[in-house]
Chain A
Amino acid sequence: MLILECPYCGVKAEETELAAGGEAHLKRYGPGSSDDEFHDYLFMRENPKGVHFERWRHANGCGKWFHAARCTMTLEVFGTYTAQTSVPTQEILDKIAAKRPGWTWREFSDGQK
């Protein structure tokens, strides 16, 4: 059973208390963006076999959205962090680097590889 700690209320919540919200840190494109940008934002996903940044909502708890870093191959949770960021925090990146030496991820600035 997947257990994530809500960074807001501090509760260690198991998955029936949470709602999964899919891949995190997608850049949200607005009016004036190209078809390709909308396409990638709406549909294209990294879907990695390994470290995955994702959004969760503490639905049956405090109700707040937060971020989590998790391995999709082992279900190991590296940690959870605030929703008020458009890139993973240095703290969570350090935690991942400690457990997965040499791991790299896409550029976060533009939501593209």
Chain B
Amino acid sequence: MKRYSVFAVAREALRYHTGWERAWRSPEPKRHYDVVIVGAGGHGLATAYYLGKNFGITNVAIIEKGWLGGGNTGRNTTIIRSNYLQDPSAAIYEKARSLYETMSQDLNYNVMFSPRGVIMLAQTEHEIRGYKRTAHANQQQGVQTEWITPERVKEIVPIINLHGPRYPVLGGLWQERGGTARHDAVAWAYARACSDMGMDIIQKCEVTGVRTENGRTVGVDTTKGPIDCDKIGMIVAGNASVLSEMAGFRLPMESVALQAMVSEPIKPCMDVVVMANTVHGYMSQSDKGEMVIGGGTDGFNNYTQRGSFHHIEETVRALVETFPMVSRLKMLRQWGGIVDVTGDRSPIISKTPVQNCFINCGWGTGGFKSIPGSGWAMAELMATGHSPLTEEFSINRFKEGKFIDESVAAGVAH
């Protein structure tokens, strides 16, 4: 792999950019791999990367039915934060956030991590108490957040309307090192690094069956033929239930559509991420100038990657209250992704009833921010059978009643 650098840019500029090579190979699948990862989204690619980097396991195939990073990895609002209340969530999300800090250098790929700061607005008395509690918890957990006053909110976000018609802004939970990153680049960066380690990324190849013998997984059937493997990692977000059925077990999970949209590009007006959970909308400004807006989930099961129109209306209404200046913006694009929501809205990173078959799913509406941490922990679990970061996220917690009492997914009242 040729490294990207300022010298490479200069060299290619002098020869009409004829020397760039493909970022990753697209080989045909081999007959056998040590590990097969199903799903080449951010989480799948990150898992593969850390299997190679931390544990030296490089005989790995990453199988993707569509194209790389074309699912929820390319459909989110790119927010990165780790201001969670409960210890297990804060641990894995802070691990992820800290890995984002150095990702561009580690992977030699500009993922445009921008720690611009994230504010979660408190607009009711309950939220004030809740966020103050979270700020205290975060101090104990070593996550840097603080409670800020409405005046400070206005200072950070001049375009905000503190005295909205329904809910005034009463303060906020501020994470200064939260922010955004380029979501596609995260997938591409991991893919390039995986390919460089000799892993095979196989796109347009759908898994049609999971083969098991005596309760152990032995391989997968795909549209490009059967592939044998010693271990399998299922990391397919909204399609987790479909895949788990192939392996013969059910999940405490439902798939629903979550929507997002972007406006026409405008001049820089907001250099932080703002989440307003009571009125339910969140917004940031991309480097291109588009306002990136996240909405709510539908109430019913859905695999169509498009959501209900009335949710767009509700989201936009909330944002117009909070930021009156956006009222005349035109929306450019709107899309939906299928998020996998578990019974307690926290993820599952776990062994399964099938031996050597591991599952990483249930990230719901909070998947992007967790990609490096999730991959790190999943790789550790798959390689060694144990990871301190995943202990609390076992699939058995529903049976044991050890729920993670936190609407982890987005911290948003869906």
Contacts and interface: CB of A to CB of B under 8 A. Distances in A.
B303 A73 contact: yes
Top 5 A-B residue pairs of the complex, sorted by shortest distance between their CB atoms? A43-B252, A20-B299, A47-B241, A20-B300, A43-B343
Interface in B288-342: 298-304, 308-310, 342
A39 B384 CA distance: 28
B368 to A, nearest CB: 22
A39 to B, nearest CB: 5
A15 B310 CA distance: 9
A69 to B, nearest CB: 12
A70 B137 CA distance: 43
Contacts of A72: 255, 301-304
Contact of A45 (B251, B299, B300, B310): B251
Contact of B399 (A36, A47, A73, A75): A36
B398 A42 contact: yes
A79 B348 CA distance: 34
Given A39-B398, A46-B241, A47-B253, 20 more contacts: A1-B308, A1-B309, A1-B310, A15-B308, A16-B310, A39-B399, A40-B250, A43-B342, A43-B343, A43-B398, A44-B250, A45-B251, A47-B254, A49-B239, A49-B241, A52-B301, A54-B301, A72-B302, A74-B304, A75-B304
Interface of B: 239, 241-242, 250-255, 298-304, 308-310, 342-343, 398-399
A35 B399 contact: yes
Specify the main secondary structure of chain B where it touches its partner: mixed
Contacts of B242: 48-49
A98 interface: no
- Counting chain B CB atoms within 10 Å of each CB, the highest count among A40, A47, A73, A113 belongs to A47
Interface string A31-63: 000011001101111111100101000000000
Given A1-B308, A36-B399, A39-B399, A45 B254 contact: yes
A9 interface: no
28 contacts: A1-B309, A15-B300, A15-B310, A19-B299, A39-B398, A42-B398, A43-B252, A43-B342, A44-B251, A45-B251, A45-B254, A47-B241, A47-B251, A47-B254, A48-B241, A48-B242, A48-B301, A49-B239, A49-B255, A49-B303, A54-B301, A70-B300, A72-B302, A72-B303, A72-B304, A73-B303, A73-B304, A74-B304
Interface of A: 1-2, 15-16, 19-20, 22-23, 35-36, 39-40, 42-49, 52, 54, 70, 72-75, 113
Given A72-B301, A72-B303, A45 B398 contact: no
Nearest to B396: A39
A25 to B, nearest CB: 14
Nearest to B301: A72
A2 B304 CA distance: 13
A54 B300 contact: yes
Contacts of A19: 299
Contacts of B310: 1, 15-16
Contacts of B254: 22-23, 45, 47
Given A35-B399, A36-B399, A45 B253 contact: yes
A70 B298 CA distance: 15
Contact of B241 (A20, A36, A45, A75): A45
